[in-house]
Amino acid sequence: AQSVTQLGSHVSVSEGALVLLRCNYSSSVPPYLFWYVQYPNQGLQLLLKYTSAATLVKGINGFEAEFKKSETSFHLTKPSAHMSDAAEYFCAVSGVGDMRFGAGTRLTVKP
């Protein structure tokens, strides 16, 4: 089985500042890892996914995530936050059986 833990249910940054959203995973097999973004009252949109090809994964909207096996982490970053990045972000893992999602982190961007 597998699971993910997202550290921090709410993160607030200033526009132009670094965005760092944390995700740690647990998996009995080498995992595939995902980040999704959800805007209010909408479905989830895939930002990026890790499938063991490269540890640094680049996604849409300037986001990227780095897989660190030693730390069992897959943190999401963006060098400079934009107001349009305000949303909820979900980390997910697949390995054995169905995909498992974290509880989500709400990102607020202050002007």
Partner 1 sequence: DGGITQSPKYLFRKEGQNVTLSCEQNLNHDAMYWYRQDPGQGLRLIYYSQIVNDFQKGDIAEGYSVSREKKESFPLTVTSAQKNPTAFYLCASSIGFGRDKDTQYFGPGTRLTVL
Interface with partner 1 by CB under 8 A: which residues?
9, 32, 34, 36, 41-46, 49, 51, 90, 94-95, 98-99, 101-104
Q: How far apart are CA 19 and CA 65, in angstroms?
A: 11
Distance of closest approach, residue 43 Cβ to partner 1, in angstroms = 4
Distance of closest approach, residue 94 Cβ to partner 1, in angstroms = 5
Tell me which residue has tokens 């740690």: 24
Q: How far apart are CA 92 and CA 46, in angstroms?
A: 10
Residue type, 100: R
Backbone angles phi, psi at 15, to 5 degrees: -60, 130
Which of residues 16 and 39 has its CB atom nearest to partner 1 in the complex? Answer: 39
Distance of closest approach, residue 104 Cβ to partner 1, in angstroms = 5
Which of residues 4 and 19 has its CB atom nearest to partner 1 in the complex? Answer: 4
Which of residues 2 and 73 has its CB atom nearest to partner 1 in the complex? Answer: 2
Q: How far apart are CA 39 and CA 80, in angstroms?
A: 19
